[in-house]
Amino acid sequence: MEEKNKLYFDGCDVTELAKEYGTPLYVMSETAIVGKFSQLKEEFLDKYENTRVAYAAKAFFPMAMAKIAEREGMCVDVVSGGELYTALKAGFPPERIEFNGNNKLPDELRLAVKNGIGRIIVDGFSELERIEEICKEENRRISVLFRVTPGIKADSHDYIVTGKKDSKFGFPLDDEVLQDQISRAIQSEYIDFKGLHFHIGSQLFDNGPYLQALDIILELTKKIREKFGVDVSEINFGGGFGIQYIDEERKSYSYFLDPMMEKMEKFCREEGMERPAVVIEPGRSIVGEAGISVYTIGQIKDIKGVRKYVSVDGGMTDNIRPALYQSLYTGVIANKADEEKTETVTICGKCCESGDILIRDLKVPEPEQGDIFAIFSTGAYGYSMASNYNRNCIPPVVLVKEGKSRLIVKGQDYEDLLRNDIIPEDL
């Protein structure tokens, strides 16, 4: 039975979670995560043949998350040796791992090749050569796609728009080098050339730029066929599907994917070719709304006629997004969930930084020290971008499901902060 005036999340009383695990605390709902994977199955994987979902690990990827993605039959998209290592250690099948990134390091590529991962998404002029060398040394063959920047400007924060021409990601289209690279990949005995990848940005709500990008990619597919007599057998649409932080109107996966699949199928019919496999890489849309951050309210500073600052025991170290992208969030006092909202306050963090503001001008019931405050939709790029600034500890992560909770990441303690420090003998 849910008590009145308390916030519940996946069947758990949030104030009880705060008591049991302490604050600040990240809480992730397993039900919500699995729900998103189920939507993807219904709207994409089961609806269209020869499709895959590679969950974008960068959004949130402790080993428990790797386990959930694996259990739900997903692939995973990693972008660093650390994410790759996490997936492997969690027992994720290597052939379902796909590796992105604009500057993959030699050791990272070696780890990928040695373990026989499913795909490397080539994203730079010297990368293919390096992969070939490593494959030769390791006596392995690997499947690759090329990441292309289609030159599309999607509508989102500039830092998270990646598909425009002026970008550190991907191969620019008008460059002969791309064709040379593809030709080299087709001929190489170490490389299995699969196809093309694009990712136009993140937190997007309009399918227009996706469709424009796809047009460009399909044109390129045609060129490759004409020039090399080879059919692209896989196209990766990237991720970027937007979620609700405040009152954004989130779109279904079908809204994005149905017209894209239709476009692909039409193109392939006209060209008389088999439709390539289609892969997507959603991150935020899987875990974003599945997470909340839980804090305890501390100092309250009422600057008369200016603003009331309500401080919490975390801040930009556990959620950098408001400071970095001016991202908007909303939240509630978890122990006053049904009370009338009579005040307008600013929720700020505890870091030594004026920009450490989590939410501006939020309506809440009268806040008091010791109240528990929860911020919604922090599941993506919250924990994964956390830092130790000011030597604050990174909070624990708890996974909840229908009223039950389990710790999936231990919180750091002060000893963890010192673990890698060395005082040289001469000091």
What the block records as the tokens of 306 is 């200016």
Question: In whole angstroms, how close is the CB of 170 to ligand LLP at the nearest point?
Answer: 9
CB closer to ligand LLP, 160 vs 186: 160
* Residue 322 near residue 28 (C-beta atoms within 8 A): no
What the block records as the tokens of 119 is 């795909």
* Residue 369 near residue 301 (C-beta atoms within 8 A): no
Question: In whole angstroms, how close is the CB of 52 to ligand LLP at the nearest point?
Answer: 13
H/E stretch holding 148 reads strand 142-149
Q: What CA–CA distance (Å, rounded) separates 9 from 3? A: 12
CB closer to ligand LLP, 239 vs 349: 239
Question: In whole angstroms, how close is the CB of 241 to ligand LLP at the nearest point?
Answer: 6
CB closer to ligand LLP, 15 vs 377: 377
* Residue 311 near residue 351 (C-beta atoms within 8 A): no
Site residues for ligand LLP per CB under 6 A: 56, 59, 77, 100, 160, 162, 199, 202-203, 238-241, 281-285, 321, 325, 381
Residues counted in the chain: 427
Q: What CA–CA distance (Å, rounded) separates 128 from 181? A: 7
CB closer to ligand LLP, 36 vs 350: 36
Work out whether the CA dihedral 18, 322, 378, 334 comes out positive or negative.
positive
H/E stretch holding 14 reads helix 14-21
Question: In whole angstroms, how close is the CB of 123 to ligand LLP at the nearest point?
Answer: 9
CB closer to ligand LLP, 100 vs 143: 100
- Catalytic residue, chosen from 75, 348, 352, 393, is 352
CA distances from 122 to 374, 381, 396 (A): 40, 24, 35
Q: What CA–CA distance (Å, rounded) separates 328 from 320? A: 12
CB closer to ligand LLP, 59 vs 152: 59
Question: In whole angstroms, how close is the CB of 135 to ligand LLP at the nearest point?
Answer: 23
Q: For 100-103, which contacts have Cβ atoms below 8 Å and span 24 or more sequence positions? A: 100/147, 100/197, 100/281, 102/168, 102/169, 102/170
Question: In whole angstroms, how close is the CB of 216 to ligand LLP at the nearest point?
Answer: 16
CB closer to ligand LLP, 7 vs 76: 76
To the query of whether residue 393 is one of the catalytic residues in this protein, the response is: no
Token pair 């997936």: residue = 87
Give 131-145 as a DSSP string: HHHHHHHHT--EEEE
What the block records as the tokens of 274 is 């088999």
Give me the phi and psi of 384, to 5 degrees please: -70, -20
Question: In whole angstroms, how close is the CB of 199 to ligand LLP at the nearest point?
Answer: 4
Residues labelled catalytic? 352
